[in-house]
Amino acid sequence: MKSADIRQAFLDFMKSRTHRIVDSAPMVIQDDPTLMFTNAGMNQFKDIFLGNSEPKHPRVANSQKCLRVSGKHNDLEEVGVDTYHHTMFEMLGNWSFGDYFKEEAIDWAWELLTDVYGIEKERLYITVFGGDEKDGLEADQEARTFWQKHVPNQRILDFDRKDNFWEMGETGPCGPCSEIHIDLRSEAERKQVDGATLVNLDDPRVIEIWNLVFMEFNRKADSSLHPLPHKHIDTGMGFERLATVLQGKTSNYDTDIFQPLIQAIEKRSGKKYQASDSQVDIALRVIADHVRAVSFSIADGQLPSNTGAGYVIRRILRRAVRYAYSFLEMREPFIHELVAVLVTQMGEHFTELKSQEELISKVIKEEEESFLRTLSRGMERLETITSGGEKVIPGEKIFELYDTYGFPVDLTALILREQGLDLDEEGFKAELEKQKARSRKDATSVTGDWVVVKEDDVEEFVGYDQLEADVHLTRYREVEQKGKTIYQLVFNYTPFYPEGGGQVGDTGTLERDGEVVRILDTKKENNLIIHFAESLPKDVGSDYKARVDAEKRQRTERNHSVTHLLHKALREILGDHVQQKGSLVHPDYLRFDFSHFSKVEDEQVRDIEVRVNELIMQDDHLDEKRNIPLQEALDQGALALFGEKYGDTVRAIRFGESMELCGGTHVSSTGTIGLFKITQETSVAAGIRRIEAKTAQAALAVMHQAEDTVAEAKELLKNPDLTKAIQDLIHKNQALTKEIEELNSLKVEGLFKELKSQISEVNGVPALVREVPLDAKAVKDLVFRLKDSTQSIFMVFGYADGPKAGLTVAMTENLVKEKGWNAGQLIRDWAKEIEGGGGGQPFLATAGGKKPEGIASALNKARVFLEEA
């Protein structure tokens, strides 16, 4: 079976069991502070499990893009070393939300694997939860009984909490689980050693393929377990492993999912994949795996960067570059070329890859180039370090390489070993620990458990229609951040817009009987709207008046609505390839990142600005559709973003011909925006440009500032025609410069004659040390004339130019050779006298400084040097 058919067969089977097939959620998570990436199919349903939101359908299934590289489920270090762990992988899953439970989940899993896919029953082993004393949980006898319908009891094995109790993270929904493992060994091997003894022992041929989780509990921050309102099913099957089994392979990398990538890398690097444990093979696997993770992340809108999720992506890509560099001897960027292979292979099912191919490959190429530069700088530094003669390189030096040059430790170790050197690993670890402790101190944040005040239904957002509401608290918790305590509050209703879609969160107040609690920010965590309050309301059980800062909200809305107009204008003027890649809508300004492969020319910037202002003047009224089916909105031409999670119904915002899917708040008609002014156009990454702009009073202020600058210039130049005045100045300046040069060469001529007769020997060296009334350029002429006129001479000239001072040290080649003097080195010390710095070559060096009074002492130092030399 081809992998695409395997995926389809799963979805068809679940559909026939009345599951609704849903899309994969984006791999990069936007609104859950406890999770950066989707690490399991159930992530997008977390709130349903917790009872914070209602399921739209009691049974769903999908194939979910997952990434396991950080947090609780982190497989990164295994990837490539073995043949069955991945950073990015697909998880086939089916879910029941308070509907069917253990029995159906078990029956269907068995039926699908053995009947539909035709896997030999004798190769399958089942694990069930064996209980846990600390959590006060019994062994899962129920699951065992259901399995006994299909499998002899001796192939059903008990395992403890570590293997058979599934948790998404440190806190959150969890429950006992039951896994299906497969024994891929040969008949002979299976006869010799019983497969049951190899389950859960990291044997690459006896592996888990499907995990059935029976969600029953919520793990709280104090690690206690609390029953969920309903019992749910959450299953996850590793798609790549399933393909290995069904395609009769023993490694995921031998399936049609990875082979095209492996072959492309073989071809490009000239290395052959031997499916072994060699470093070359590990490198091939690492690269084939990582290019998928990075490409899918970029397609979901997450670019490599220096922080958060972006940094994780950058590290994955660098791991791939490093393996290519060290083991495939690839010194040139090439990983970006694999994107085309990936798109051919997966672009059909994952259209976000196909439509952004060019962008993905450009971004990867730029990252590769920049990291390869880092590697070669690190190499240079490493050479300096190893030339010191030490046998064991101290931890601090390794840390410096790692921290300052981004040079990976394992690579350092490898290079050192090749040179017969060693590194102080303990010392390095100690340095690393010190750094970690420093950053821990900077960003400690302790989150307490929710205190439930009222068991209300899901919190409702009413902020599209009103800026005030009578609310009561449903839950709150205390959060410690950088030594400060704040409170996170959740209400039954809220007019506060939670940060999202680029728009900042609302601020405002909670008021009751003269008590005022300031709301500092509002954010979304999954489906909860969380208000950050500076203190806890005195009476948490009472009603409060929630009031949004209306003036700030209005400024923010102008900037949000204009972002839509800007998006439209960009697509009109630059072309349809423009896609939104990020935005920030702030009360004072807006920022819009978009895909475009060259600088936006000044003229285009002007055109865009004009077009947006036209759209403002058109005064189109807001046409808001709050609950329109996704497909209908798309059919009407609404713009949607990649990497955004949309439900079956969406909110669509239309102003005239601009229509976007958007959850933000907006002006009632575009005329309210008043004025739009672009303040900057820059580059953010390869293929991504950024426009920053302002509206209304803030835009006017920008223009006033520009006017003021012009007015000031006219005033200074005493001429209302600024262009002409500046042209005149430039001409005058050129003429003066020429005149000075002529005068200087006359002066040089005069000085040359005068100085020639003043050369005197110090310690046998003909020398001239004095101040001259020339500028730097003229001094250089003088120095060359003097050098040309004699066999041997040492010169030091000081010169003042207004508040600036200069120093030139020069000598003939014979002195460099015979005495070993070096002008570049000598000047460094002497220039300190004029509070300056400089350098140059052994025979000529110059320095500039800001203390003309120091010239005499600098020259003095030079004289002392000559006398003592």
Looking at beta carbons only, is 88 or 608 nearer to ligand SER? 88
Contact region with ligand SER (CB under 6 A), list: 229-237, 310-318, 571-579, 790-798: 229-237
Nearest of 167, 179, 175, 171 to residue 206 by alpha carbon: 179
Residue closer to ligand SER, measured from CB, 235 or 252: 235
Q: Report the nearest approach of ligand SER to the CB of residue 174 (Å).
A: 9
Binding residue for ligand SER, selected from 63, 94, 96, 211, defined by CB under 6 A? 211
* Choices 23-31, 231-239, 245-253, 299-307 (CB under 6 A): range interacting with ligand SER: 231-239
Binding positions for ligand SER, 447-466, rule CB under 6 A: none
DSSP state of 639: B
* Site string (521-540) toward ligand SER, x via CB under 6 A: --------------------
**Residue nearer to ligand SER on the CB measure, 75 or 135:** 75
Of 34-42, 370-378, 669-677, 828-836, which segment contacts ligand SER by CB under 6 A?
34-42
Which span (232-240, 283-291, 707-715, 768-776) binds ligand SER, by CB under 6 A?
232-240
Which of these ranges, 234-242, 399-407, 511-519, 738-746, lies near ligand SER under the rule CB under 6 A? 234-242
Q: State yes or no: residue 235 binds ligand SER (CB under 6 A).
A: yes
User: Is 93 or 176 the residue whose CB approaches ligand SER more closely?
Assistant: 93
Smallest distance from ligand SER to CB 234, Å: 5
Q: Does 128 bind ligand SER (CB under 6 A)?
A: no
The Cα–Cα gap between 108 and 178 comes to 13
Which amino acid appears at position 867 of this protein? Answer: E
Instruction: Report the nearest approach of ligand SER to the CB of residue 173 (Å).
Output: 9
Residue 41 interacts with ligand SER (CB under 6 A): yes or no: yes
CB 166 to ligand SER: min, Å: 5
**List 213, 316, 590, 633, residue binding ligand SER (CB under 6 A):** 213
Of the pair 91, 519, the CB lying nearest ligand SER is at 91
Q: Which of residues 75-104 bind ligand SER (CB under 6 A)?
A: 93
- In degrees and rounded to multiples of 5, residue 862 shows phi and psi of -65, -40
CB of 109 to ligand SER, least distance (A): 11
The closest alpha carbon to 285, from 268, 273, 293, 270, belongs to 273
169 binds ligand SER (CB under 6 A): no
Closest distance of CB 392 from ligand SER, Å: 44
With b meaning 16 or more CB within 10 Å and e meaning fewer, what string describes 821-848?
bbbbebbbebbbbbebebebebbbbbbb
Stretch that binds ligand SER, among 233-241, 327-335, 415-423, 638-646 (CB under 6 A): 233-241
User: How far is the C-alpha of 490 from the C-alpha of 488, rounded, in Å?
Assistant: 7
- Of the residues 166, 491, 496, 589, which one makes contact with ligand SER according to CB under 6 A: 166
Does residue number 29 form part of the binding site for ligand SER (CB under 6 A)? no
What are the backbone angles phi and psi of residue 600, rounded to the nearest 5°? -80, 120
Residue 141, judged by CB atoms within 10 A of its CB (0-12, 13-18, 19+), counts as exposed
Indicate the residue among 36 and 661 with the shorter CB distance to ligand SER.
36
Size of the site for ligand SER (CB under 6 A): 10
Alpha helices in 419-523 (DSSP H): 425-442
Maximum pairwise Cα distance, the chain: 114
Q: Which is nearer to ligand SER, 20 or 73 (CB)?
A: 73
Considering the complex, what minimum distance in angstroms separates the CB of residue 20 from ligand SER?
17
> In 3-state terms, what secondary structure has residue 70?
coil
DSSP state of 568: H
C-beta closer to ligand SER: residue 168 or 489: 168
Cβ–Cβ < 8 Å for 608, 679: no
Burial bucket for residue 342 (CB in 10 Å: 0-12, 13-18, 19+): buried
Name the nearest CA neighbour of 98 among 214, 182, 3, 1.
214
CB nearer to ligand SER: give 93 or 130: 93
Distance CA 836, CA 402 (A): 33
Of the candidate spans 40-48, 332-340, 659-667, 711-719, the one that interacts with ligand SER by CB under 6 A turns out to be: 40-48
Residue placing its CB nearer to ligand SER in the complex, 225 or 725 = 225
Beta strand extents in 165-224 (DSSP E only): 165-167, 172-183, 206-219
- Contacts of ligand SER in 725-784 (CB under 6 A): none
Nearest 5°: phi and psi at 544? Answer: -130, 155
Helix (H) or strand (E) holding 203: none
92 or 565, CB closer to ligand SER? 92
Beta strand residue intervals within 220-283, DSSP E: 225-238
Give the nearest distance from C-beta 177 to ligand SER in angstroms. Answer: 7
CB of 217 to ligand SER, least distance (A): 14
- Please select the residue that binds ligand SER; options are 47, 140, 183, 234, rule is CB under 6 A: 234
Q: Tell me if 56 sits within 8 A of 647, measured CB to CB.
A: yes
**Among 29, 40, 243, 330, interactor with ligand SER by CB under 6 A:** 40
Among 236, 498, 508, 766, interactor with ligand SER by CB under 6 A: 236
Print the SS3 string covering 504-558: CCCCEEEEECCEEEEEEEEEEECCEEEEEECCCCCCCCCEEEEEECHHHHHHHHH
Strand order in the sheet with 794-801: 760-762, 765-771, 794-801, 804-811, 844-849, 836-840
Distance CA 699, CA 677 (A): 5
- Hey, CA dihedral for 666, 669, 672, 677, is it positive or negative? positive
Stretch that binds ligand SER, among 38-46, 323-331, 441-449, 656-664 (CB under 6 A): 38-46
Tokens 């107009």 sit at which residue? Answer: 565
Nearer to ligand SER, 169 or 664 (CB): 169
| CB of 208 or CB of 424, closer to ligand SER | 208
Residue 700, CA atoms < 13 Å, CB-side half-sphere: 5
Q: How far is the CB of 332 from ligand SER (least distance, A)?
A: 38
- Least separation in angstroms between CB 64 and ligand SER: 9
Q: Which of 14, 25, 28, 42 binds ligand SER (CB under 6 A)?
A: 42
CB of 146 or CB of 491, closer to ligand SER:
146
> Of the two residues 105 and 360, which places its CB atom closer to ligand SER in the complex?
105
Which residue number, 176 or 395, has a Cβ lying nearer to ligand SER? 176
Chain residue at closest Cβ approach to ligand SER: 236
3-state secondary structure of 19: coil
Locate 688 and state its tokens.
């991504």
How far from 432 is each of 308, 391, 404, 435, 581, CA to CA, in Å? 19, 22, 13, 5, 35
Minimum distance from residue 41 beta carbon to ligand SER (Å): 5
* Alpha carbon separation from 221 to 47, 167, 170, 447, 449 (Å, rounded): 17, 13, 7, 8, 6
Nearer to ligand SER, 52 or 672 (CB): 52
Cα–Cα distances in angstroms (integers) from residue 584 to residues 149, 495, 560, 670, in the given order: 57, 21, 9, 19
Contact 290, 319 (CB under 8 A): yes
CB closer to ligand SER, 22 vs 213: 213
Query: Binding residues for ligand SER, per CB under 6 A?
Result: 40-42, 93, 166, 211, 213, 234-236
